Structure 1
Amino acid sequence: SIIINLNISKASFSEVVLAEEKRTQKLVAIKCIPKKALEGKETSIENEIAVLHKIKHANIVSLEEIFESKSHLYLVMQLVSGGELFDRIIEKGFYTEKDASKLIQQILDAVKYLHDMGIVHRDLKPENLLYYSMDEDSKIMISDFGLSKIEGSGSVMSTACGTPGYVAPEVLAQKPYSKAVDCWSIGVIAYILLCGYPPFYDENDAKLFEQILKAEYEFDSPYWDDISDSAKDFILHLMEKDPNVRYTCDQALQHPWIAEDTALDKNIHESVSAQIKKNFAKSKWKQAFNATAVVRHMRRLQLGCPQNVESGADPLSNCTYRCHPTSRV
């Protein structure tokens, strides 16, 4: 599964193109999945669609429609055009604990909604958090439900999955786990938002897993010297080794760092952005389309139809959307 991003993206078995609804000229992202590539992966994509069909939340990228042709499956997704979380933080000149608290509150609201519906995301990480628009006060959106699981929809969750630095200890221990794994990941994200580096790191995966299994992390000086005790307490409750003691989304939303006024207003931008650049530099950032540039580009062009999607007529030509062939990367 791939992140539905403002960037027109490509994955091992699917790609995303920018498209326009003919009637309203509203821009959307269409995830194009060749059926040949789905052989053996049908369960994964069916699971993602089942999850997406169930959810409607202001901070979650929505599935608008599904189309099918002989050779392809097309998922019409809400377009989020504000870019990645880290990029936005780096671009800011001013960034505080309060900003981080507001971001985490939105994530908690969305994940609480998922959990209330019996859905566990299982792959929460900064790369899956995208801004809805380029507006200064844009909301944050959760994307990529490729690893999501509906509780009670089969076996007990015990499959080790997710992204190593963000997975909870019980996942690595290959024990049965629950929605508490998402709360751990939110704790890791909150930690990174306040210092710019991950709580667990080692070039050697075995050593990294050992750190996570023991829940061994520090609030290192000088990076945490100006961070409030309330923020540290919040993280400690989410990055709690025992999933039975770990805060739920409900409890986290009631913590003073989220619900009250304990998040500090001090500007921590210089230190945090320097650490993000050092620890999360990705070549794909440089290669990715800038959101506004893509939108402007699409507006300037005479929008055509996809080419070479399959032989014969364009499968989307009779539907409500039109795509541009150059909108692929």
Structure 2
Amino acid sequence: MPLFGRKSDGEKKERGKDSDIRKKYDLKETLGTGAFSEVLLAEDKIQPGKFVAVKCIDRMGIVGKEESLTNEIEVLRRLNHPNIVQLTDVFEDKNYVYLVMELVTGGELFDRIMEKGSYTERDASYLMKQVLEGVDFMHEKGIVHRDLKPENLLYYSSSADSKIMISDFGLSKIEDSGTMATACGTPGYVAPEVLAQQPYGKEVDCWSIGVIAYILLCGYPPFYDENDAALFQQILRAEFEFDSPYWDDISESAKEFIRNLMCKDPKKRFTCKQAIAFPWISGNTALDKNIHASVSAQMQKNFIKSKWKRAYNATAVIRQMRKLAMHKEDKKLQE
């Protein structure tokens, strides 16, 4: 039985045309692996030179969790925004479901910041503006991400002026699909109302954006404890500090921006639109002072590299694409 239920005649015809993913895409090297999935680099056979990322999900691994995958696909189909990783195709056979995604090759947010020679408040403000615009679009479509964190913010390409992309919608929820009360997300980025097991809404994403903005300006998280219970108590109290000397050179406008996003009361918390309109984002209050040395040192200290391969491993993508280009060049020479 198809994962996505019964189809109309038009949809059946469309599915029948492309029922085998290998007819449309040349599946290549592995870019990353997960518990029940593998992400492959793939080249479009109709448009040679156009590459995508294909997430291959093992049906056996999601038995009993089909609804979660169906929800993720429904969420992604609603989202078409320049700062959101795009789902372009879905295929399925008896063993796998294949999600064809826009290929993102620029790497993770923190990695790029640490590699920079210069980094300012204004740079952080521009990054947050892109994230806010993407999440605002999501909220307009009635979708709550529920797991916004730096690892899910990726650069589209390796170019210096690359845009930022929001990824990983596995925990996202469509608001009109029912009350949200499930405790989910990543410790350190989750909002107080989630930990308090209260019904919640899109405000939880705005809290997470506040946490990310805090880290972007000092390199360490606003809440930290190796014991999760102690960490959750800190978050439930919503008490955080702008410690000296790390915050001494940061503008009061930036601090006020964070306070409004990391407000304990979700009713008083900034929405994405309010955050975008705030002077630190839309005005000229973000400072140009280079804070790279302090921020990158703290990031290296506080955010240790994961041992697991990332779903979007930029180095692997670039290496494989270069190899393919060299192979094609060799074939031309031989001809």
Q: Is the structural similarity TM-score above 0.5?
A: yes
Question: Aligned letter for 1:253?
Answer: I
Question: Aligned letter for 2:66?
Answer: E
Counterparts of 1:84 and 1:93, CA distance in 2 = 17
Counterparts of 1:163 and 1:71, CA distance in 2 = 30
Higher relative contact order (CA 8 A, sep 6+): 1
Matched, 1:60 2:78: no
2:148 paired residue number: 124
1:224-239 alignment, distance < 5 Å: 224-239=247-262
Q: Contact 1:7 / 1:289 at 8 angstroms: preserved in 2?
A: no
Matched, 1:170 2:193: yes
Residue 283 of structure 1: how far off its partner (Å): 4.0
Greater alpha carbon shift after TM alignment, 78-87 vs 292-301: 292-301
Residue 259 of structure 1: how far off its partner (Å): 0.5
Counterparts of 2:70 and 2:309, CA distance in 1 = 33
Matched, 1:40 2:64: yes
Q: Deviations over 1:252-301 (max 9, x none)?
A: 00000000000000000000000000000214389956143232134334
1:259 paired residue number: 282
Please state whether the residue corresponding to 2:231 is helix, strand or coil: helix
Q: Deviations over 1:97-119 (max 9, x none)?
A: 00000000000000000001100
Matched, 1:295 2:326: no
Question: Aligned letter for 1:169?
Answer: P
Greater alpha carbon shift after TM alignment, 182-191 vs 8-17: 8-17
CA RMSD, Structure 1 to Structure 2 (Å): 1.6
| Sequence identity percentage | 66
1:82-231 alignment, distance < 5 Å: 82-153=106-177, 155-231=178-254
Residue 125 of structure 1: how far off its partner (Å): 0.2
Q: Deviations over 1:222-245 (max 9, x none)?
A: 000000000000000000000000
Residue number among 38, 42, 50 corresponding to 1:15 in the alignment: 38
1:241-252 alignment, distance < 5 Å: 241-252=264-275
Runs of 4+ in 1 over 6 A off after TM superposition: none
Q: Deviations over 1:96-152 (max 9, x none)?
A: 000000000000000000001100000000000000000000000000000000001
Question: Aligned letter for 2:93?
Answer: S
Counterparts of 1:149 and 1:283, CA distance in 2 = 26
TM value normalised by structure 1: 0.87
TM value normalised by structure 2: 0.86
Counterparts of 1:40 and 1:81, CA distance in 2 = 33
Q: Contact 1:231 / 1:263 at 8 angstroms: preserved in 2?
A: yes
Measured at CA, do residues 56 and 289 of structure 1 come closer, stay the same or move farther in structure 2, by a change above 3 Å?
A: closer
Structure with the greater alpha carbon radius of gyration: 2
Measured at CA, do residues 111 and 7 of structure 1 come closer, stay the same or move farther in structure 2, by a change above 3 Å?
A: farther
2:14 paired residue number: none
Counterparts of 2:113 and 2:63, CA distance in 1 = 40
Any stretches of 5+ residues in structure 1 without a counterpart? 1-5, 303-329
Measured at CA, do residues 7 and 268 of structure 1 come closer, stay the same or move farther in structure 2, by a change above 3 Å?
A: farther
Q: Deviations over 1:62-118 (max 9, x none)?
A: 000011112111110000000000110010000000000000000000000000110
Please state whether the residue corresponding to 1:76 is helix, strand or coil: strand
Question: Aligned letter for 1:129?
Answer: L
Q: Deviations over 1:152-172 (max 9, x none)?
A: 11x310000000110000000
Measured at CA, do residues 294 and 285 of structure 1 come closer, stay the same or move farther in structure 2, by a change above 3 Å?
A: farther
Measured at CA, do residues 301 and 45 of structure 1 come closer, stay the same or move farther in structure 2, by a change above 3 Å?
A: farther
Q: Contact 2:33 / 2:309 at 8 angstroms: preserved in 1?
A: no
Q: Contact 1:86 / 1:126 at 8 angstroms: preserved in 2?
A: yes
1:282 paired residue number: 305
